[in-house]
């Protein structure tokens, strides 16, 4: 009946008297990238945390693929198909890049609670993980301990961890922050491909990337969505110009 895979209604969260997200309604349609932009401290990351369930909402509802997941906890939500990247890279520091990806494959392949079978005998897990590393162009770095990866490589690994889960939706929190030009290009290409399987809610400060990628853009300021539309509409919106005072929107 509808073409929305993720539907968020009136999601609110206050820390004390401070409303970080204020009755936010936002949705994701199949095959799209919906960008969420806004100034620092607007509540973007907090919104993601509420969608994944690590921050408890005060009010509102979250529907994923026709199912009300508002009362599920973070692990349950991850299991049924929400995967996210962290704004500040969060990886398993002493695992190699490859092992990080394998970890992310465990749950989907129902291996997490195999207690006595050797991990190394699960060659399928490792070959699948290698394929994912290929997609994020980290294959040649697969044996490197994650804590020794460069900042940019860690950003890619973050995305790889999300990819491995084959979720219903992706929530990416500034995946391109700190990437060089080739890195950003790679991400743009990758996102354009993966959105065909699972749509992406994309938080990003890099406006060029946003405008290149987004099918829709929403602007959040002080916890409220102040504008929403296509790239063209957003570029023409005077409110957005006010918010991004100083930033040339061309």
Partner 1 sequence: MIKERFFNKWVFLLLLSIPAIGIIFNEPYYITLATKVIILGIAGVGLNLALGYGGLISFGHAAFFGIGGYVAAIMSYHALNEELLFEIPLAISGSSEMLIIWPLAIVISAFFSLLIGLLSLRTSGVYFIMITLAFAQMLYYFSISWPSYGGEDGLSMHMRNTLPFINTMNPLNFFLICLAWFFIAIFITSKLINSPYGMALQATKQNEERVKSVGIETFKVKLIVFVFSGAITGLAGSLYADLNRFVSPSMLNWHTSGEIMVFVILGGIARLYGPLLGASFFIILEQTLGLYTENWQFWLGLILILEIIFARSGIMGLFDKKNKL
List residues near ligand ATP by CB under 6 A.
15, 20, 38, 40-46, 87
134 binds partner 1 per the rule CB under 8 A:
no
Using the 8-state DSSP alphabet, how is residue 248 labeled?
-
Nearer to partner 1, 194 or 210 (CB): 194
Alpha-helical (H) ranges within the chain are: 44-52, 74-79, 97-106, 123-135, 151-164, 181-194, 207-213, 231-236, 238-243
111 binds, among Mg ion, ligand ATP, partner 1, none (CB under 5 to 8 A by kind): partner 1
Per DSSP, the three-state class of 151 is helix
Positions that interact with Mg ion (CB under 5 A): 44-45, 87
Nearer to ligand ATP, 87 or 109 (CB): 87
Kindly list the distances between the CA atom of residue 111 and the CA atoms of 104, 105, 107, 122, 158, in Å, as whole numbers in the listed order: 11, 8, 6, 9, 21
Stretch that binds partner 1, among 109-117, 176-184, 197-205, 225-233 (CB under 8 A): 109-117
133 binds, among ligand ATP, Mg ion, partner 1, none (CB under 5 to 8 A by kind): none
103 binds partner 1 per the rule CB under 8 A:
yes
249 binds, among partner 1, ligand ATP, Mg ion, none (CB under 5 to 8 A by kind): none
Could you give the CA distance from residue 80 to residue 72 in angstroms, rounded to a whole number?
10
């Amino acid at each position: 009946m509808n073409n929305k895979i993720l539907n968020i209604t009136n999601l609110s969260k206050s820390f004390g008297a401070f409303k970080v997200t204020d009755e936010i309604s936002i949705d994701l349609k199949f095959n799209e990238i919906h960008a969420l932009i806004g100034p620092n401290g607007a509540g973007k990351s907090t919104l993601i945390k509420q969608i994944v369930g690590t921050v408890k909402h005060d009010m509102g509802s979250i529907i994923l693929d026709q199912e009300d997941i508002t009362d599920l906890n973070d692990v349950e939500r991850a299991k049924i198909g929400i995967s996210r990247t962290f704004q500040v890279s969060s990886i398993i520091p002493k695992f190699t890049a490859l092992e990080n990806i394998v970890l992310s494959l465990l749950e989907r392949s129902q291996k997490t609670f195999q207690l006595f079978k050797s991990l190394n005998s699960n060659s399928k897990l490792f070959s699948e993980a290698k394929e994912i590393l290929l997609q994020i162009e980290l294959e040649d770095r697969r044996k490197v301990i994650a804590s020794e990866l460069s900042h940019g490589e860690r950003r890619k690994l973050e995305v790889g961890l999300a990819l491995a889960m084959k979720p219903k939706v992706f929530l990416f929190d500034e995946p391109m922050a700190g990437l060089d030009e080739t890195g950003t290009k790679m991400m743009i290409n990758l996102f354009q491909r993966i959105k065909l399987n699972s749509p992406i809610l994309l938080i990003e400060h890099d406006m060029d990337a946003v405008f290149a990628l987004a099918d829709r853009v929403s602007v959040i300021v002080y916890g409220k969505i102040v504008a929403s539309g296509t790239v063209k509409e957003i570029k023409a919106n005077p409110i957005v110009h006010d918010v991004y005072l100083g930033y040339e929107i061309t």
